[in-house]
Amino acid sequence: MTAEAPRNRRKNLDGTAQEEPPLGPPWDLPLASAPLLFVDLEMTGLHPATDRIIEICAQRVRGDVLEASLTSLVRPESEVFGNSHVHGIQPGDLANAPPFSALCEPLEALAEGAIVVAHAADWDVAFLEAELARAGRPRRFSHFLDSLVLARRAFAFTSHSLASLCREFGIVREREHRAEDDVLALRAIFGRIVTELSPATPRHLWRVRVGERRARPELVEAAKEAAARGEPVRLRYRPAGRAAQELTVRITGVRTDLDPPLVLGYLLPSRSRRELRADRILALEPLHPSRPGGTDPDGAARGA
């Protein structure tokens, strides 16, 4: 089936770049303290205006704690149906299911103050907004986290679909394309992403961009600070089409006049020069020096 994709959700309606999420909670909470709403939907097709949600799973999670959840088949309030070959749900399975309008109140309670996380999230958000509007409870999810975008930055796989990521990480789904099993897989994949990208807050994840050549501002600032201190750092860096590398680098400067910025320096202990695109830096942390009187990783004695 072919269909037009939903509009680019990271742009405003006039096509300009989207503003960042609002300051404060939940976007600036420590990631382990931020309420996240992991969502997966099964639909009758790909057109939010005419197709319908027929299954939903939404799990509100804080850290490793599942706070509340909603899992249900959904009976469309119309005769539209399709995609059984994908999800395996048959019309008869929906005969006693509630309509989406009956699920709005518990769904809104789960979403209150939380950040939506989904895979290829444009689709899920577009369908949620369409169904809520039809139920007379319009709501816009203007900012959310897309695990597909995050996985594309974090991992050099040939495919970043949910099925491919499950295969790469050995995540077992009892039923593919069923909402609850997909949410459980999504949460496991999200944990892998967090380990790779080392974000402090959800905002740091929202700032991850693929194809937009945008560097995470907090990593650029950390690189500038490292250059000013003259101290080595440990970088996780993913070149195009290759797996992430762990590098020890002494940063000598940051070219912020370029887009994306370039981080200049040399590797330790080899001292080979490197120019690293800042948008491909996944994580950066100081390399804490050893006890006073020792040597730096490049062999230079300290305190001389």
- Measured CA angle at 109 (ends 106, 112), to 5 deg: 150
Instruction: Compare 234 and 78 and report the one with higher pLDDT.
Output: 234
Q: How much is the pTM?
A: 0.86
pLDDT of residue 1: 34
pLDDT tens-place string over residues 141-152: 999 999 999 999
Longest dimension (CA), the chain: 80
At residue 159, what are phi and psi to the nearest 5 degrees?
Answer: -140, 145
pLDDT of residue 84: 57
Mean pLDDT, the chain, integer:
88
Token digits of residue 148: 């597909």
Give the residues across from 267 on adjacent strands.
Answer: 249
